[in-house]
Amino acid sequence: MRVLRSVGSRTFVFFIACSLVFIFGINRMWAGYFSQRIHQTLWDQEITQALWLEVVDLADPIDMPQLQRSLLKRIAYSQVADLRLDRQDEVNENPAKPFIWGATGTDSLEWVEQAGLNPMAKARHVHWSFEGHHWTWVSLHHRQQHYQMLLDHRVAQQSLARMWAVRDQTIWYQLPTVVLSAVLLAWLVTRLMLNPMQRLSQRLNQIVRLQPQERIDAKGSLKEFESLINAFNALLDRLQISYQQASRFSSDAAHELQTPLTILRGQLAQAINQAGDYHDVQIRLTSISDEVERLISITEKLLQLSLADAGRMSLVLEPIPLSDWVAELVDDAASFAPHLKTSWQGDPHVIWHADRNLARQLLTNLLSNAVKYNQVGGWIRFYLKQTDQDVELEIHNPTEADLQGMEEKLFERFYRLDPHHNRKTGGSGLGLSLCREIAKAHGGALTMGIKPQKNVVMRLRLPLQQSHTV
C-alpha cells in the first residue's frame, strides 16, 4: 500500500475507478432506466407508426394477409405468432377487448394517443396482458375503418437485447481509449494540483536551509495554502526565538564560565606545586585540575559553536601545507597510540587556505575520534587527494561500535555512543559537531560513512577555491 501514499497515485486510482464505475455501473443504471422509461415508449410509437404506414400504402380493399406480411417485414425480429391483426368496418371510439382473439371483459384501459399522423387518422396504443404474454394493443382509425393489432413484447425485448449487445461490444472497443483518457486526465489534474505544492516545498526548503530569517508571503498563493503558510511562518518565528534564546544562553554561559575557570586553573596549578610530591593532596588536586581542564574545553567549544550558529566565526585565512600536517598527525599517532597502525597516502604539497588554529583543531579532533573509537590491534588510514573541483581528506578506521544508521546522529551536540557518559573514552559529545561547523565555515563539508565490517570513513571535502597544489 506504499504506492497509495502519494497524491498522484491516489488521483490516478481515483480517476481509473471513476471511469470503470461510469462505464459499467452508471451505464447499467442508465440501461435499466432507458428500458423502462424511454425504449418502451419509443417502441410503442414505432409499431403504431408502422401500422399506419402500411395501411396508408395498401389500396382498398385491404388485403389482411398482405398487411400482416408487410408488418412482419417492417417490424424487426417479429414472427407470425407474435402478430395478430383485425379489421372492422365500424369505427368504435372505445373498443372493448377484441373478442375475436378470445378475450372477454370490458375493463377500461388507459390508452395513449399517437400524435403526428394524418388529420384523418387516429391512432392509440395500450399495454395488455393476455394468454400469459404481455402485448401492445394498437388501435387505428383510418378511412372509416378500424384496425387493431396485437404485438408480443418479446419482439421489443429482442430489439432491446440486440441494442445492449451492440452497446457492450462498443464499450469494450472504447475501454482502452477511456482508460487512456482517464490516465491523461489524472496526470493533468495531479500536475495542476502538485505543482503549487512542489513550488511551496522548494520555497520552504530554501528558507529553512539558506535564508532562515525570511518568511513566505501568503498573498497570491492558493486559498488552501494560506493557512498552511501562516502556520509555517508562525512555527519559524517560535523556533527562531527558541534557537536565539538557546544560542544566547550557551554563549553567555561560556563567556561567564571562562573567567572563573581560568582563575580556578591558576589557583589549582599553584596549589599542586606547593603540595608535596606524590602527596594525597597533590593527587586529589591534580584530579580536580583535570576536571577543570575538561570544563574549560567544553566552554571553549560551546563558545565556538555559538559563534558558528550566529555566523560570526572569524577566520584568518593563510596557506597551510595540508599534506605536511597529515604526515605530522600520522607521526603523532604513532607516539600516543602505538597500538594502532597509522598510515597515509595521497597527493603531496596540497595547500589549504584556512584559519590555522581552527584547522589544527579540526584535524586533531578527527584523529582523536579515530583513535578513541578504534579497536584493539586496529589501524587508521589517511587518504588525501585533489580533484578538479575540490580537495578531499578521508580518514578510515575500524570500530567495535555498531554505527549503522547513525551517520548524522553522531554530529548532534552532546551525543555520545556511551549511554552512561562515563569517562572511559572521554569527550563531551561536542567534537564532531564543532568539526562540522569549522568545515562549513571554510566552505567545506564533513560527512561520515559506514562500510562493511564496521569500518568508519570520515570524509572532509574542501572547495578548490581555497585549496590548490604547488
Assign 3-state DSSP to the chain and report helix, strand, coil percentages, each to 5: 55, 20, 25
Other C-beta atoms closer than 10 Å to the C-beta of 144 total 9
Residues in contact with 281: Cβ distance below 8 Å, sequence separation at least 6, in sequence order: 275
How does DSSP classify residue 218? -
Q: What CATH number should be reported for the domain whose range is 223-309?
A: 1.10.287.130
pLDDT in tens, 397-416: 998 888 887 888 888 877 77
CA distance 235 to 226: 14
Asked if 394 contacts 458 with a C-beta cutoff of 8 angstroms, the reply is yes
What stretch(es) of the chain map to CATH 1.10.287.130? 223-309
Q: Is the peptide bond before 61 cis (omega within 30 degrees of 0)?
A: yes
What phi and psi, each to the nearest 5 degrees, are found at residue 316? Answer: -110, 95
Neighbours of 206 (CB within 10 A): 12
The rounded Cα 211 to chain-centroid distance in angstroms is: 26
**Low-confidence stretches of the chain (pLDDT beneath 70):** 1-9, 12, 23-37, 59-61, 90-108, 167, 171, 174-175, 207-213, 218-224, 243-258, 276, 278, 302-303, 307-312, 418-428, 464-470
Indicate where the chain has its CATH 3.30.565.10 domain(s): 317-469
DSSP per-residue string spanning 225-276: HHHHHHHHHHHHHHHHHHHHHHHHHHHHHHHHHHHHHHHHHHHHHHHHHHSP
User: Residue 112 in 3-state DSSP?
Assistant: strand
pLDDT of residue 420: 45
Beta bridge partners of residue 129, listed in sequence order: 134
> Would you say domain 317-469 falls under CATH 3.30.565.10?
yes
Distance CA 262, CA 293 (A): 9
State pLDDT tens for residues 358-405. Answer: 888 899 889 988 988 888 889 999 999 988 778 899 999 998 888 887
Q: Are 409 and 450 in contact (CB under 8 A)?
A: no
Predicted local distance difference test score (pLDDT) of residue 103: 58
